Chains A and B, each alone.
Chain A
């Protein structure tokens, strides 16, 4: 198989083998497709791998769409007005433990604390010493929650601090128990007062508090 052999064979192929040509239809359909793509603002994306199949791009787009839809539904469904409040309550509780501002008035005497709130709030929060029931009163504090100044009464149970936030609100009388960032939250109403207890105390012991404060 020398050079002349090769060139003879080459000549035979070049002369006789079929050269297929793209049809006019193919050319115009390619042109149309590109015009459509360009008109649709479909910019070339060359940062993807060259052999990245189109269906994979479509698939990823689809997947992304589904995930973001689910996320959107989840997030829209989750944080209503109440959970914003819940987050505020937890933050307030955490802050009260952090910045050594647990109480504005430290006293285990309810008769000291209750008058202290007078002139600071336009309502009188119920304060009760529950030392006999195992919830000694630690003190009281003013806090800012839900766009208003509220009373925070601090109790303790086996070393766990409990913030009980109280303000007048009878719009929603449902009892509620929930958690946020590992803290237990309990909401209840007495009269026209809304109570929110926040603590790292277990929820069973925390649940005894509403009846004691009645």
Chain B
């Protein structure tokens, strides 16, 4: 069927980007997979609405909306998100003991944990602009489309996200240094 072929060539190539955004937003593998799966089904159903436009920001927009709906539900029925936050703290703490390790690979791992933790600690509206801009290399216009916000807002959110990341990273490094 032609629609299935369209889906295969237009949508499926962006599956990794879709999962990356979902995983960063919901911070849980199975939930992120659900979000992506559902977004793909929707993308298939509405593929006619694409009309030759770039499928990537379009698909990521659907993924993002799914994730926000889920996050909203978690906020109403809390538990998982708070728990996850705790988990991150405890995961990040073993860094202290490994501080003086000369092994570069291990150091890279620590740096990754630091950076990941700093990004995770951002609120979702700031986290998503960082992910889309830095990891997915998307333009301001594309991010504006995905998040349904003006380009000016994308820029201001990105600036604030970066400021928060700097503070957060500095605090984390300090904690590590004191360990």
Verify A20–B134 contact, CB threshold 8 A: no
Contacts of B8 in A (CB 8 A): 31, 34
A109 interface contact, C-beta 8 A: no
How far apart sit A17 and B131, CA to CA, in the bound complex (Å)?
9
Verify A9–B166 contact, CB threshold 8 A: yes
A84 interface contact, C-beta 8 A: no
B16 interface contact, C-beta 8 A: yes
Interface residues in B1-58 (C-beta closer than 8 Å to A): 1, 3-4, 7-8, 12, 15-16, 18-20, 23-24, 32-33, 36-38, 40-42, 44-49
Interface residues in A62-117 (C-beta closer than 8 Å to B): none
B67 interface contact, C-beta 8 A: no
Contacts of A131 in B (CB 8 A): none
* 1/0 contact string of B143-174 vs chain A (CB within 8 Å): 00000000000000001001101100100000
* 1/0 contact string of A115-140 vs chain B (CB within 8 Å): 00000000000000000000000000
* 1/0 contact string of A18-42 vs chain B (CB within 8 Å): 1111110011011101110111001
Residue among B3, B62, B134 making CB contact with A50, cutoff 8 Å:
B62
Contacts of A21 in B (CB 8 A): 16, 19-20
Contacts of B95 in A (CB 8 A): none
Residues of B in contact with A, size category: 35 or more
Q: A9-B165, A38-B1, A38-B3 are in contact. Are A26 and B19 (CB under 8 A)?
A: yes
A188 to chain B, nearest CB (A): 62
A24 to chain B, nearest CB (A): 11
Verify B20–A46 contact, CB threshold 8 A: no
Interface residues in B94-146 (C-beta closer than 8 Å to A): 108, 111-112, 114-116, 119, 130, 134-135
Contacts of B33 in A (CB 8 A): 22-23, 26
How far apart sit A169 and B169, CA to CA, in the bound complex (Å)?
98
Could you jot down 10 A-B contacts, CB within 8 Å? A13-B115, A13-B130, A13-B135, A16-B108, A16-B114, A19-B135, A27-B12, A34-B4, A45-B45, A46-B47
Q: A16-B111, A37-B41, A44-B45 are in contact. Are A22 and B119 (CB under 8 A)?
A: no
A residues with a Cβ closer than 8 A to B are 1, 5-6, 9-10, 12-14, 16-23, 26-27, 29-31, 33-35, 37-39, 42-46, 48, 50-51, 54
Q: A10-B134, A43-B3, A50-B62 are in contact. Are A18 and B40 (CB under 8 A)?
A: no
Verify A37–B19 contact, CB threshold 8 A: no
Verify A17–B116 contact, CB threshold 8 A: yes
Verify B112–A44 contact, CB threshold 8 A: no
Q: A1-B162, A9-B166, A34-B4 are in contact. Are A16 and B115 (CB under 8 A)?
A: yes
Verify B32–A20 contact, CB threshold 8 A: yes
Residue among B15, B119, B166 making CB contact with A27, cutoff 8 Å:
B15
B93 interface contact, C-beta 8 A: no
Contacts of B44 in A (CB 8 A): 34, 37-38, 44
Q: A9-B162, A13-B115, A17-B112 are in contact. Are A34 and B40 (CB under 8 A)?
A: yes
Q: A13-B115, A16-B108, A37-B41 are in contact. Are A45 and B46 (CB under 8 A)?
A: yes
Contacts of B159 in A (CB 8 A): 1
Verify A33–B32 contact, CB threshold 8 A: no
Verify A46–B45 contact, CB threshold 8 A: yes
Residue of B nearest to A53 (CB): B69
Verify B7–A34 contact, CB threshold 8 A: yes
Residue of B nearest to A39 (CB): B1
